[in-house]
Amino acid sequence: MKLPSSKAIHNLFALEDSPESIARGIGIGIFLGFTPLYGLKTLLSLLLAVLFRANKIAAVVGVTLHDFVFPLIPLVLGMEYEAGFWLLSRPHHFPASLDLVHLGPHAWLSWTTFFAVGAPLLVGSLLFGIPCGCIAFFTTRSVLRQKRSRIAGN
């Protein structure tokens, strides 16, 4: 996967919108990038961008930027699952190690497996996605404000 070029980043910063709107879009996209909602992330980013009056292009870019960690997805999903499992279990404990070698496709596609794995994964993704989305929002807003004030001063 190719990293974004400086021209692509420059185009993002050149969007005709307020720094807050663009930063909200990036934050929404980064947040949704952590969720295990494959196939729905882009659509949800557009919907949330409309609801929160964020820049729609920036939201889609944020979801796409998260895809650059693709080689690390198994590690990220594992951490999200373990954190979500720990939060949902009473008393709190981490899950037993997963041994997927002995599971056949019928077990992977069953509803019980989907709910047993999906709920902890979704909760864990919120635990990682919310702080990362907030960091992305504040960082993007700060950089945009500085860049635009520098341009306005010249």
DSSP 116-152: HHHHHHHHHHHHHHHHHHHHHHHHHHHHHHHHHHHHH
pLDDT for 22-39, tens place per residue? 999 999 999 999 998 888
Could you give the number of structural domains in the chain? 1
- Separation between Cα atoms, residue 62 and residue 23, nearest integer Å: 10
Residue 61 lies in a domain: yes
Residue 72 lies in a domain: yes
Residue 114 lies in a domain: yes
pLDDT of residue 117: 83
| Single pTM value for the model | 0.82
Residue 77 lies in a domain: yes
Give the CA dihedral 12, 45, 62, 6, nearest 10 degrees: -30
pLDDT of residue 106: 73
Q: Contact, 29 vs 61, CB < 8 A?
A: yes
Residue 81 lies in a domain: yes
Residue 41 lies in a domain: yes
Residue 1 lies in a domain: no
Question: What mean pLDDT is reported for the chain?
Answer: 85
Residue 140 lies in a domain: yes
Give the structural domain span for 68.
6-153
Binned at pLDDT 50, 70 and 90, residue 1 comes out as very low
Binned at pLDDT 50, 70 and 90, residue 77 comes out as confident
